C-alpha cells in the first residue's frame, strides 16, 4: 500500500502548496481506517521538508517516482521514503530512505544492530537505522516476485537529518560497519552526499512505474532465501525430527498447503510439554514452507528464542535475509487479513493481549496472528505461563479462531526428549511442587541427574564443570533479586548475593545468554531461558518459594521490584486476596517448573530456604553426600 505516490514534480508541488500532509492524513484515514496523531504529523512535516530540500536538485529527474510511508505488501512494515527510476544500465532502481529525527544516540556494546536513543519520552534500545533500512530492502527483495524477476536494484540508506556527526561517533562503531556498507547513514550537514547517492542510482525517471509494479508484485520467497534456510538446516543435528515430531510436522504441512489451495483459514493447536520438540517442528516447518514458495514466519513473544535460533541457523553471519523469517508477537497489529501464508507461533502460552512498548497497541495478539494468516499454528504448554500478562491458552485460541471463521485442528507432541526422555521426572516435579497430583513420589529407575546442593557455590561448580563439555550448561534463578539499570553491563556487579556468594544477572548486551561463552559466569532468569534448552542447568530457588507447615508455599512479595511478571498483583490483592494468591502461586510454581526442566541431562538446585531444600532431598531420598539411595 502506497500512502502517497507521485513523481518528484508532484511531491515538490504538494510540499510547496502545503497540501502534502493533508493528503497523507486523508489516505491513512481512508485506506487504513485510522487517524494520525499530532506527533506523527509533526514528524512528517519536519522530515519531509528535509527531503524536499534534498530533492531540489535539477540532476534528480523530475519524473522520478516518489513514495511516502510505503506499507510493504503482506506486512505491517512501512518505509518512510522511496525514490524510483532507472540506472545507467536502464534497469529499475529504488532508493529506500529511513528518516530519523534523532539528535543523539549511544552504541550498545556487543550488539551489532542495536542502539539506544531517546524515544517515547525515555531512552530505549532500538535497531540501528541502517539495519532497519537494510532489513526492509531485504524483505522486499526476498518476497516480491516483480523485484526478483526484473532484477530491480534496491539501495537502502538512513538519513538522520538532525544528527550532528562527530569523530569516532557511536553511529559508526565497528560493530555497525558491516550493515553500513550495504546501507550507509547520512547525517546533518551531509545533504549533498545523500543527493549524490540518489543521483548515482536514479539517472532517468520512470514516472513512478517501478514503485507501482512493486506494490502489485506477487508475494513469493526468493530462490536465494529458499536455498539459504535449506542449507542452514542441512547437517544441523539440533533440528532433526524424531517420532511424533515428524508425524505432527507432516500433518501441519498438509493442512498449510490445503489452506493455500482452497483459501480456507485453519488454526492448528499443538500441545506439548517441555522437551517434546515444539520448536524443532516449528523451525523445520519454517524451512519447508519457505522452500515451497510460501510466505511463512516464526513468531514468539520473547526475543531470546528468536535470537538463539537465528544464530543456530546462520552461525556467525551478522545479518542475513533469514532474520526476516523471525518476528515478535506484536508484529501483526495492523497486518491485513490473510497477509501471511503460515504463522508459526512458538511459546504461544506467552502471548499477550496488547502490543507495543506501552502495551497499548492492537486488540489481542492471538486474534491478530489468526487474522493475519491463512494458516496459524500455535505451539503451546499452558503450564509454562509465567506472567500475569500471559494469555495464551487453548480456550483463548479457540475463541478467536471461531471469531475469525478459522477451522480448529488439535495435535499433540508426547514423546519427551528433554530430561533424558523422562516423563517421570516431569511428573515427579509436578507432584513435589504441588502443581498437580501425579503419584510420582520418587525417581527410582529414572536416568536424570537431579541434585539438591547445600550451597550456591557447590551448584555453580557442578554447572561450570559440565559446561566445559559443549558450552551447554547455564545457571538460572528465580527473579528475587533486582536488576539495576545502571549495572546491567557490569558482570563484576553481583545482583544476586547469598551470604559470601555472588553472581551477576546476565548482561544486558552482547550475545544471547544461551550461546555466549562468557554467560556461564552469569545467571539467567525465566525471560532469557524459556523456550531454550541446555544439557545441564543450575537453578537458584529464591525466597518466593519455601516449605512451611508441610506444604510448598509461595510469596510474591519476595519477587524483585524490577520483575514485571506479577505486575498488578498487589492491586488485585486489595480487591480479592484469594484470587491474587491463586494467580501468583500458579505463576511462581510454573516459573520454577520451567527453569527446572531446561536441562536435558541434569538439574542442580540450590534453595535459599533450607526447609525447602530438606523437603526436596527427602522427595529425592538422598543421603547426606547427595547420592540417591
446 pLDDT more than 80: no
Distance CA 191, CA 530 (A): 46
Cell triple for residue 13? 508541488
Our separate counts of H helices and E strands in the chain read: 20, 24
**Please, which pLDDT band fits residue 623 given cuts at 50, 70 and 90?**
very low
At 487, the pLDDT band (50, 70, 90 cuts) reads confident
The whole-number pLDDT of residue 4 equals: 87
Does pLDDT of 476 surpass 90? yes
Confidence category of residue 288, pLDDT binned at 50, 70, 90: very high
CA distance 434 to 182: 55
Confidence of residue 222 (pLDDT cuts 50, 70, 90): confident
Compute the residue count for the chain. 629
- Mean pLDDT of all residues belonging to the chain: 89
The answer to whether the predicted template modeling score (pTM) of the entire model surpasses 0.85 is no
Element (H, E) at 413: strand 407-413
CB contact at 8 A, 208 and 67: yes
**Over 80: is that where the pLDDT of 540 sits?**
yes
Q: What is the pLDDT, as a whole number, of residue 38?
A: 53
C-alpha grid cell, residue 592: 520454577
Q: Which residues contact 618 (CB under 8 A, 6 or more apart)?
A: none
Calculate mean pLDDT across residues 194-219. 94
**Residue range 76-94: mean pLDDT, rounded:** 92
Is pLDDT at 485 greater than 90 in this prediction? no
At 75, the pLDDT band (50, 70, 90 cuts) reads low
Half-sphere exposure of 362 (CA within 13 A, CB side): 26
C-beta of residue 284 within 8 angstroms of C-beta of residue 270: no
Delineate the domains of the chain, giving CATH numbers in brackets. Answer: 2-215 (no CATH), 223-413 (3.40.50.300), 419-620 (3.40.50)
pLDDT of residue 262: 97
622 pLDDT more than 60: no
Nearest to 539 by CA among 448, 628, 458, 624: 458
156 Cβ contact list (under 8 Å, min separation 6): 95, 96, 97, 98, 130, 133, 134, 136, 137, 182, 183
Q: What average pLDDT does the segment 225-241 reach?
A: 76
How much of the chain exceeds pLDDT 70, in percent? 92
Mean pLDDT of 362-366: 95
For residue 475, the model assigns a pLDDT of 97
Residue with cell 550451597: 455
The pLDDT assigned to 629 comes to: 45
| The pLDDT of residue 625 | 46
Mean pLDDT of 233-252: 82
Q: Does residue 383 have a pLDDT over 70?
A: yes
Handedness of CA 528, 531, 534, 535 (dihedral sign): positive
pLDDT tens, position by position, 406-417: 999 999 998 665
Average pLDDT over residues 63-67: 96
Q: Which tens digit of pLDDT belongs to each residue from 23-49? A: 887 877 776 666 665 566 667 788 999
What cell was used for 34? 485510522
Strand duo 449-452 + 599-607: pairing:
parallel
Question: Quick one: pLDDT at residue 624?
Answer: 42
Beta strand pairing status for 78-86 and 65-71? antiparallel
Predicted pLDDT of residue 93 = 97
DSSP H or E run through 12: helix 8-16
In this predicted structure, the answer to whether residue 22 has a pLDDT above a threshold of 90 is no
For the segment 503-523, what is each residue's pLDDT rounded down to a tens digit? Answer: 999 987 655 788 888 899 999
Nearest-angstrom CA–CA distance, 72 and 219: 10
Whether 69 has a pLDDT exceeding 90, the answer reads no
Dihedrals φ, ψ of 510, to 5°? 75, -165
Identify the pLDDT of residue 219: 84
Helices (H), 189-234: 191-201, 209-215, 223-233
pLDDT digits (tens, 9 = 90+) for 298-346: 999 988 888 887 777 766 555 667 788 899 999 999 888 999 999 999 9
* Whole-angstrom distance, CA of residue 432 vs CA of residue 440: 8
Q: CA 391, 297, 407: angle at the middle one, nearest 5?
A: 60
Amino acid at each position: 500500500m502506497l500512502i502517497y505516490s507521485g513523481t518528484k514534480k508532484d511531491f515538490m508541488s504538494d510540499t510547496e502548496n502545503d497540501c502534502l500532509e493533508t493528503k497523507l492524513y486523508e489516505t491513512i484515514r481512508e485506506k487504513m481506517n485510522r487517524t494520525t496523531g499530532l506527533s506523527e504529523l509533526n514528524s512528517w512535516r519536519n522530515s519531509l521538508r528535509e527531503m524536499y530540500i534534498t530533492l531540489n536538485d535539477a540532476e534528480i529527474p523530475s519524473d522520478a517516482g516518489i513514495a511516502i510511508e510505503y506499507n510493504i505488501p503482506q506486512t505491517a512494515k512501512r518505509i518512510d521514503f522511496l525514490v524510483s527510476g532507472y540506472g545507467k544500465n536502464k534497469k529499475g532502481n529504488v532508493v529506500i530512505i529511513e528518516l530519523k529525527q534523532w539528535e543523539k544516540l549511544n552504541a550498545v556494546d556487543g550488539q551489532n544492530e542495536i542502539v539506544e536513543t531517546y524515544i517515547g519520552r525515555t531512552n530505549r534500545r532500538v535497531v540501528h537505522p541502517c539495519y532497519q533500512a537494510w532489513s526492509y530492502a531485504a524483505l522486499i527483495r526476498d518476497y516480491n516476485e516483480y523485484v526478483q524477476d526484473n532484477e530491480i536494484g534496491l539501495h537502502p540508506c538512513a538519513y538522520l537529518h538532525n544528527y550532528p556527526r562527530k569523530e569516532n561517533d557511536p553511529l559508526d562503531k565497528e560493530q555497525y560497519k558491516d550493515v553500513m556498507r550495504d546501507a550507509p547513514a547520512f547525517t546533518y550537514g551531509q545533504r549533498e552526499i545523500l543527493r549524490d547517492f540518489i543521483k548515482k542510482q536514479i539517472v532517468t525517471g520512470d514516472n513512478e512505474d517501478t514503485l507501482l509494479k512493486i506494490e502489485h508484485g506477487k508475494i513469493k520467497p526468493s530462490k536465494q532465501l529458499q536455498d539459504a534456510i535449506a542449507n542452514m538446516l542441512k547437517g544441523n543435528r539440533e533440528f532433526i525430527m524424531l517420532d511424533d515430531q515428524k508425524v505432527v510436522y507432516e500433518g501441519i504441512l498438509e493442512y498449510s498447503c490445503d489452506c493455500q489451495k482452497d483459501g480456507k483459514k485453519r488454526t492448528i493447536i499443538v500441545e506439548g510439554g517441555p522437551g517434546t520438540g515444539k520448536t524443532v517442528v516449528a523451525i523445520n516447518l519454517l524451512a519447508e514452507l519457505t522452500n515451497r514458495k510460501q510466505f511463512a514466519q516464526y513468531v514468539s513473544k520473547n526475543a531470546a528464542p528468536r535470537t538463539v535460533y537465528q544464530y543456530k541457523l546462520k552461525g556467525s553471519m551478522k545479518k542475513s535475509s533469514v532474520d526476516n523469517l523471525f518476528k515478535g508477537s506484536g508484529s501483526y497489529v495492523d497486518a491485513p487479513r490473510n497477509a501471511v501464508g503460515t504463522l508459526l507461533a512458538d511459546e504461544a502460552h506467552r502471548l499477550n493481549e496488547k502490543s507495543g512498548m506501552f502495551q497499548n497497541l492492537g486488540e489481542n495478539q492471538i486474534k491478530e496472528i489468526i487474522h493475519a494468516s491463512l494458516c496459524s499454528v500455535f505451539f503451546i504448554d499452558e503450564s509454562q505461563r509465567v506472567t500475569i500478562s500471559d494469555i495464551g491458552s487453548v480456550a483463548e485460541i479457540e475463541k478467536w479462531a471461531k471469531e475469525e471463521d478459522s477451522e480448529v485442528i488439535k495435535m499433540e507432541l508426547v514423546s519427551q526428549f528433554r530430561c533424558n526422555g523422562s516423563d517421570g521426572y516431569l511428573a515427579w516435579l509436578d507432584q513435589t511442587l504441588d502443581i498437580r497430583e501425579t503419584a510420582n513420589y520418587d525417581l527410582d529407575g529414572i536416568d536424570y541427574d537431579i541434585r539438591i546442593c547445600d550451597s550456591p557455590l557447590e551448584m555453580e561448580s557442578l554447572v561450570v564443570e559440565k559446561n566445559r563439555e559443549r558450552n551447554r550448561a547455564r545457571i538460572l534463578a528465580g527473579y528475587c533479586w533486582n536488576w539495576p539499570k545502571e549495572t546491567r553491563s557490569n558482570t563484576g556487579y553481583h545482583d544476586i548475593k547469598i551470604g559470601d556468594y555472588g553472581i551477576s544477572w546476565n548482561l544486558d548486551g552482547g550475545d544471547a545468554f544461551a550461546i555466549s561463552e562468557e554467560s556461564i559466569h552469569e545467571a539467567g532468569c525465566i525471560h532469557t531461558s524459556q523456550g531454550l534448552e541446555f544439557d545441564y542447568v543450575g537453578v537458584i530457588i529464591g525466597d518466593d518459594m519455601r516449605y512451611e507447615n508441610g506444604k510448598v508455599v509461595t510469596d510474591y512479595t519476595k519477587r524483585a521490584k524490577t520483575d514485571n511478571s506479577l505486575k498488578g498483583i498487589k492491586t488485585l490483592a486489595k480487591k480479592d486476596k484469594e484470587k491474587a494468591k491463586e494467580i501468583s502461586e500458579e505463576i511462581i510454581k510454573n516459573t520454577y517448573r520451567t527453569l527446572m526442566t531446561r536441562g536435558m541431562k541434569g538439574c542442580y538446585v540450590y534453595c535459599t530456604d533450607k526447609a525447602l531444600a530438606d523437603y526436596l532431598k527427602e522427595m529425592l531420598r538422598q543421603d547426606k553426600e547427595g547420592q540417591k539411595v
